[in-house]
Structure 1
């Protein structure tokens, strides 16, 4: 894409090529200062005396300067590049020699801008190979995602680096809960690009709401409603709906590249040119992509795949059974394994719950090989039971399996969970809490798993859910795989929630097990006025290391 030809070589002094306009405010109005002396130059890649329109790649490197400018935006049909340093590379794609107009906005303080345009005449000779088009598009709506289960699926390195994720390489599932892994990308044959920002909320009907992941200071370019949480230089779970844009294939300097229009992106928002070089596409159903960010700091790397994760491929690393209770002796729970929480607790056990916990056989007993925790209506209130392994069995890391059948009824709130053993000294949520299974009768058959820790307490816990259609009519296995690198939550051996564990979380020390059936409360909700009783039934509890 050509070097602005002869007029460019004269540094664009000609007023026809430096049309300064669209000044939105008085440059002298207080702290609001509009940029002045905006100059844009263009260098067409490969342009020389024999190739006046470039090397056929269609690539033009632009440089914009201005007084009082904080950042720049380059706009051409289907392209938007934001660059704080005034440098942008745009690859045009229409075959042959064509003239393109590029609009440059120089932004000053207070958001005021000054606009300049420039025309470039560029040669494009690249036509994408059919096998690449077929790989991206497939038959029907082929869907791509970040290959989160593979090391190096996300990372960074130096600008123009040639080693994938040279400086930082994310481990498997490391960025779970950030708003990236539930995104899906579709390259439609008609040239439209569809970004689904949450693929988990489209069943049974489409829900366009979602969240995304990106670089602080750049992700705000999306103009979404905001939200999210700052974690270092990242913004996680930035609220952003599904959207459509356009895509095309180019090959600057012979490097196959996906170009997305506007602010469309893949994986992690970094601004820049929105061009993703295809570094490697040799593996079936997989591609390695890289792109430079809008700050000119790093190249970001992604591995994308068109295959959904196979939940049945989960293999536990923990296979040595170290503790179990099969509830094979009728009567009270084994006192060598379990102790009780009794009474109403402080403020309804901290959740405005309505039950009083007892050790009465009316509320808890082992019968015919099953532990039954029963909540009952009792003289205008409710009784139930809660047992735990505190001071009896505490452990760090492992696989917990609980086979259970859940109660029904509005207001019922059964839970299988773990609490940090140091809660009485460090307090909650500093102790950490791992909720393996929670279910509420007011949302029948929805199973929740949640992590609570500082910054993620109460309703702000890191949570996911799945549907089990026979949760209250059949026994199912609810389990958690807890390692130093991650905590995975499963139902019947299928992973539905992965949390990246790190040295900064409280999930690297002893925890103990808890089984209980609460009534009402902040999560359990309104109790059915006709409620009489319901039971949480546990077939066994096992822990492997």
Structure 2
């Protein structure tokens, strides 16, 4: 039996909020029922997916708590651990057997018929500079753990034969070595510190996923790091994206007293994800054999072929007798993978309030590609995200190429973080041309694919969707919605026939 996701609730939802406010989003899933159900001693029933995912938006791997399970409905609760070290978040999902929901889409009747701006991409070369500028670089993963660097190179973005072509490429795949040294612990104020490991003596390392480690000579002795010896992690080209190493401490580490960890790193590339994980090696094992009590925090390298110090905050780590340090370098990439792509925008060139946007596009099919056609509030530089608002006309995850999604992002009512409203739908042959539309009205925002409505959001004056926005077209690699990149990936494209705006 397959299951179809019918509703989903936002992070931090209590069970009561879930019952009262869960939205019907009628989204698409391709979820086989060959899962494993675990009965816990405390009476909880858990659904174990291993490393798999449940649906287009239910992208937490591992175990879900079963809230309800019968022949007509499955409701689960999942816990995600944000990569930036914030407290875990609760998500709720409901599914019904596939076929219980009929895709009966209404046709969009537009209120906007006057063409006010368009790019038909009819002149070969670079995108028209009167219409488009560029976002460039890696920007620490663009807030989403993305793996690519954006460029304005013809290899990544060009207009050819009446089409805009955005190409994601892998630059190099080879063996990579990363160095690490002088791991210290300090209190929250960083007024007192102690050395956990300086690698000047003998250290016993373990490795997994194809990675290995040893002590090695310092590759760059100098003012930044005068040590003679360091740790070195070797990650071959054929290593898994989750490859890493670990070593044991001499005894349990008190992360309540000394939650701040500093570590010197030396990387051959910038914006490599350096994940530092702490484990209680004596806690009950998970299904994959790893300890059940752990906590991990990500940082990004900012220096190429030079030493820098990365700092990690473990203040939110659950209680445990932590005695194992686990390191991942360039997490999410095999070997020394380096991706490039393009992100073009109409910021300061064309900005507008209300109207209809039609974008005719073909999407990439490779696992790990994350194409998006979207808009951002023109006051982004002044108020930041999410206060500026974001309207995602279309985005597609890297793990499900049979559907597309549409989302609006805005600040929550307390003003302490983001909220969003989202939906998705199946789409056949996304690698072929489809027209993705947003109808942005003063009282409503409507999303359609091939003129079939699949998502509606009420717009009110309190939301940031009543002032100018600009357009963005891009393809990301990996990250929160891209997921793991196909280890055999070399290149893929998003092709756009036209962008048209009506008012």
Q: Given the two structures, how large is their TM-score scaled by the length of structure 1?
A: 0.45
Q: Which has the higher helix share?
A: 1
TM (norm. structure 2) is: 0.48
Q: Computing the radius of gyration over CA atoms, which structure comes out larger, 1 or 2?
A: 1
